[in-house]
Chains A and B, each alone.
Chain A
Amino acid sequence: MHATSTHAERASQAPAIQVEGLRYWYPPVEAGQAPTLALDGLTLTITPGEAVGVTGPAGSGKSTFCLALTGLVPQETGGVIEGRVLVAGYDTRRVSVAALAAAVSIVLQDPESNLLGLTVEDEVAFGPENMGVPPAEIARRVDWALTVMGLAHVRTRPSWALSGGQKQRLAIAAALSMQPSVLVLDEPTAQLDPGGRRELLRALMQLRKVLGQRLTLIVAERNLDWLSALVDRIIVLDHGQCVLDGPSPALLVSARAHMQALGLPVPQLAELAAWFAERTGITVAWRTVDEAQEALASWLAM
């Protein structure tokens, strides 16, 4: 499957992701044991250009869901799947992972495991090279991806010499050069320090600004402060089921008791927003500390 369709053509096919009655069992780890149910009846639709956060307690199925969007589940992990997942129109059970790579890319949480040990520009060129893209076009895509991820100044450096945050951004650049319409990030900040997290957030927000409708972003994360600054919608999983689905950051405020009961941390901004709503009667949801500061400052001055 050659990646000939442009971003625009793919964007006009709606929705970007359609999940219908998805159930998935991992194969048993030891012979004789029962298979483990990881996803238990997921049905949802994601439109092109959306940025959706997926969260939930450990073991709730976030990673499995991410892998299911790329076809790795079930093609590489085995097990039993029911229902279906359509990504950019392709059925993840029928189309090979390598062919799906033209439409959907994933970046895993360990910065090391996304990279092949090549130089920065070779890592980014690797994907399009495999797809048989002409060299001139590859060069153009590499330049663009490195610039948008802020890595142009290290393009000849070997990938193992980069910091954790840079490696994550490189993995995203390598995914972007294949021009997917869906980008999936599985706990991207888990192994980053605060500086790395800030850089990554900045790069992703810039990416959304540049690509707009042409890129649908799915981010599985446990760091809700970071996530709410990036996404428009949050889905909460618990034991493989979708228990909450709503706009972000409003959902973090309105459903905070439920999320706390699931064992998730309540972001401080959500706590403050809830108090503010109670106190003033104005429903608010703050994505960033700056937004909260502005609202509270005017309230204090009143």
Chain B
Amino acid sequence: MAHADLFVPGRSALHRLDPRVKFVLALLTGALVLSWDSVLLLAAFLVLTQLVLWHIRYPRATVLAFWRALRPFLLLIVLLWPVFHPGGSPVLVTAGPVHITLPALFAGVSAALRVASTAFIALLWLGTTDQRALVRGFVRLGMPFSLGIALTIGLRFIPLFAAIVEQVSAAMQSRGLILPPRGWRRLRALVPILIAALITSLRYSEQLGWALALRGVGASRQRTALHDLTMRWQDWVALLAGGSLLVGLLLARVVWGVGGALLAPLSPR
């Protein structure tokens, strides 16, 4: 059964980093990237993410699929931003009430780059952290365990549900149901499939609830763990060094406006 998971096992430093540290650094990097307006800085950052993905040998096919999924959104942002933010000079194109100016275009590109960068930060984080470590990291950071196990089972359930829908669809087509290739009629034809899939899922989740009770969930207040997370010195170094760098850059942005100009660091603010 296929697993809807971005995680690909590997031996890079990023893979071995403690999931809590990765999570914190991902958050800080995301915040930093979102605070920047500079097209040059953002483009450089994006290139950096691609280099890291290449370095840790993340499958190119998945990266390309990721870009393909992002493409329509990025194009939309670049095209629509100037329409809604006319202003500045020089004006490039005028079409009736719509003025497309160069600064606005740059701002659009900057926004698109921010979206792409955050997406790739997420990919780098999820691509190098397996589900168990992910959930364990959250739990150690304070998330209640029951939420953690719900998350694990929920994540596992997505491909399971997809598989059930596929099997139910096959069974119904075998009874004469013809699925229209697209459109409203297809949606309507999917209804009986979803009903059966839902019933199967409910039955399955009841059994799962039993399985959890039978494995002693709720028996003891003190839950232990076979493989627990421990911080190595590398994790501390990454956290402190990376953390300081990112916080420093954030402060630079907020206090001194570094990275605020569209063409920073080339042009003045």
Residues of chain A whose beta carbon lies under 8 Å from any beta carbon of chain B: 1-2, 70, 72, 76, 96-99, 101-102, 105-106, 108, 110, 112-119, 121-122, 125-135, 138-139, 142, 158, 160-161, 174, 178
Choose one: A1, A106, A117, A142; the contact of B214 (CB below 8 Å). A106
Contact (Cβ within 8 A) B226 A121: yes
Complex interface bits, B227-264 against A, C-beta within 8 A gives 1, otherwise 0: 11000000000000000000000000000000000000
Least CB distance, B225 to chain A, in whole angstroms: 6
Q: Assess A117 versus B215: contact at CB under 8 Å? Given A129-B225, A135-B226, A139-B226.
A: no
Instruction: Provide a sorted-by-A list of 25 A–B residue pairs whose CB atoms are within 8 angstroms.
Output: A76-B213, A96-B219, A97-B214, A108-B207, A108-B210, A112-B204, A113-B208, A116-B153, A116-B156, A116-B208, A117-B153, A117-B156, A117-B157, A118-B132, A118-B152, A122-B226, A122-B227, A130-B216, A130-B220, A131-B220, A132-B220, A138-B226, A139-B226, A174-B215, A178-B216
- Measured in the bound complex, the distance between the Cα atoms of B212 and A72 in whole Å is 12
CB-based closest 3 A-B pairs: A117-B156, A113-B207, A130-B216
- Measured in the bound complex, the distance between the Cα atoms of B218 and A99 in whole Å is 8
Q: Which residues of B contact A96 (CB under 8 A)?
A: 218-219
Contact (Cβ within 8 A) A127 B215: yes
Residue with the greatest number of chain A CB neighbours at <10 A, chosen from B1, B149, B160, B210 = B210
- Measured in the bound complex, the distance between the Cα atoms of B48 and A182 in whole Å is 58
Contact (Cβ within 8 A) B211 A129: no
Asked if B222 is an interface residue, CB under 8 A from chain A, the answer is yes
Total interface residues in chain B, CB < 8 Å: 32
Residues of chain B whose beta carbon lies under 8 Å from any beta carbon of chain A: 1, 3, 132, 149, 152-153, 156-157, 160, 204, 207-228
Contact (Cβ within 8 A) A113 B211: yes
Least CB distance, B203 to chain A, in whole angstroms: 9
- Measured in the bound complex, the distance between the Cα atoms of B225 and A186 in whole Å is 29
Q: Which residues of A contact B214 (CB under 8 A)?
A: 70, 72, 97-98, 101, 105-106
- Measured in the bound complex, the distance between the Cα atoms of B226 and A121 in whole Å is 9
Contact (Cβ within 8 A) B156 A160: yes
- Measured in the bound complex, the distance between the Cα atoms of B87 and A186 in whole Å is 72
Least CB distance, B238 to chain A, in whole angstroms: 25
Least CB distance, A210 to chain B, in whole angstroms: 22
Known contacts A112-B204, A115-B211, A118-B152; 15 further A-B pairs (Cβ under 8 A): A98-B218, A99-B219, A101-B219, A102-B216, A113-B204, A114-B211, A116-B149, A116-B212, A122-B226, A125-B226, A130-B217, A133-B224, A135-B226, A139-B226, A174-B215
- Measured in the bound complex, the distance between the Cα atoms of B149 and A122 in whole Å is 12
Q: Which residues of B contact A135 (CB under 8 A)?
A: 224-226, 228
Choose one: B132, B157, B208, B223; the contact of A129 (CB below 8 Å). B223
Residue with the greatest number of chain A CB neighbours at <10 A, chosen from B1, B223, B226 = B226
Contact (Cβ within 8 A) A160 B3: yes
Q: Which residues of A contact B149 (CB under 8 A)?
A: 116
Contact (Cβ within 8 A) B222 A132: yes
Q: Which residues of A contact B132 (CB under 8 A)?
A: 118-119, 122
Contact (Cβ within 8 A) A126 B152: no
Residue with the greatest number of chain A CB neighbours at <10 A, chosen from B132, B204, B209, B211 = B211
- Measured in the bound complex, the distance between the Cα atoms of B1 and A158 in whole Å is 11
Least CB distance, B152 to chain A, in whole angstroms: 7
Least CB distance, A195 to chain B, in whole angstroms: 20
- Measured in the bound complex, the distance between the Cα atoms of B219 and A99 in whole Å is 5
Q: Which residues of B contact A116 (CB under 8 A)?
A: 149, 152-153, 156, 208, 211-212
Q: Which residues of A contact B215 (CB under 8 A)?
A: 101, 126-127, 130, 174, 178
- Measured in the bound complex, the distance between the Cα atoms of B207 and A17 in whole Å is 24
Contact (Cβ within 8 A) B224 A98: no
Choose one: B1, B209, B220; the contact of A2 (CB below 8 Å). B220
